[in-house]
Amino acid sequence: MTANAEKSLSADSELLAMREALQNRLDQLLPAGNERDLVGAAMREGALAPGKRIRPLLLMLAARDLGCDGSHTGLLDLACAVEMVHAASLMLDDIPSMDNALLRRGRPTVHRQFGENVAILAAVALLSRAFGVVAAAPELSGLCRAQAVAELSAAVGLQGLVQGQYQDLYEGGDARSAEAILTTNELKTSMLFGATLQMAAIAAESPSTVRQKLRCFAQDLGQAFQLLDDLADSLSGTGKDCNKDEGKSTLVAMLGAEMAQQRLREHLRSADQHLAGACHQGVATRRFMNAWFDQQLAMIG
């Protein structure tokens, strides 16, 4: 076996172990209630259903690449909190008054399983639980916890996911400039990536210069991620509804698939440069990001 193959196998095993640890910790943080606890069951369905876990994995890998001890128990809780926020955003995104989606992660959406009212309550409860988990994360100082809460709050609020979703709902069907589309994409996608990386930097006690490079990395990563999502909109087998972007103003609709892929790769190159500048002690985050996008782009063709 070559050295590269050994490294790849080791990285795959490490990611598998991380995913398993995330799943187990989420299960602990969101315990099953009695059979009448529909909100609790909906919370677990939204957060524990098999997913890519991109954000929590990035947090854990980046923190380690920044010099944080891999055995730091607080990292896992921060990662789980980010996944709870992401799951809550998907649950709200899917409800009938928004995207009215039928499938998520290859399963019926939460509102189809439990009703729209329960899905909304469960999403709010997941957000609340996420902030509680961050506020109590072990092995972090009170200041670090407060900073992490602030980062996550900014990503979720009116200048983050909420504003991005509003723009997508009320402006997405209109003709928009490329700049307007990029702004919506940043709010919907880059902001939570930004909070994820900032929380990793907080745990690693990284200086402001590193944190700024990570913000730039997150901006490019979010744009690449959204372009990938838009390019895959018409594909089957993604685990969610096809053609949900039909009639919406996206960069793929504006530029065409080929130009959109070119822009995606430009964002990836820029993201990699920012990440290389931020992480001097390890390359696991870069390896993970590049391998994941290569895999996804190969599926698009």
**Residue type at 188?**
K
User: What pLDDT shows up at residue 8?
Assistant: 56
75 strand-pairing partners: none
Pairing of strands 107-108, 103-104: antiparallel
Q: 295: how many CB neighbours lie within 10 A of its CB?
A: 9
Residue 108's H or E segment, with its range, is strand 107-108
User: What pLDDT shows up at residue 6?
Assistant: 47
CA 259 to chain centre: 24
User: What pLDDT shows up at residue 241?
Assistant: 78
Q: What are the start-end ranges of the H helices in 157-190? A: 161-171, 178-185
3-state helix, strand, coil in the chain (%, to 5): 70, 0, 25
The three state secondary structure string of 233-300 is CCCCCCCCCCCCCCCCCCHHHHHCHHHHHHHHHHHHHHHHHHHHHHCCCCCHHHHHHHHHHHHHHHHH
User: What pLDDT shows up at residue 9?
Assistant: 47
The pLDDT tens digits along the chain (301 residues) read 444 544 554 678 899 999 999 999 999 999 998 888 999 999 999 999 999 999 999 999 999 999 998 788 899 999 999 999 999 999 999 999 999 999 999 899 999 999 999 999 999 999 999 999 999 999 999 999 999 999 999 999 999 999 999 999 999 888 899 999 999 999 999 999 999 999 999 999 999 999 999 999 999 999 999 999 999 988 877 788 787 788 889 999 999 999 999 999 999 999 999 999 999 878 999 999 999 999 999 988 6
Q: Which of 158, 301, 183, 299 is nearest to 249 (CA)?
A: 183
Query: 256 φ, ψ to 5°?
Result: 90, 160
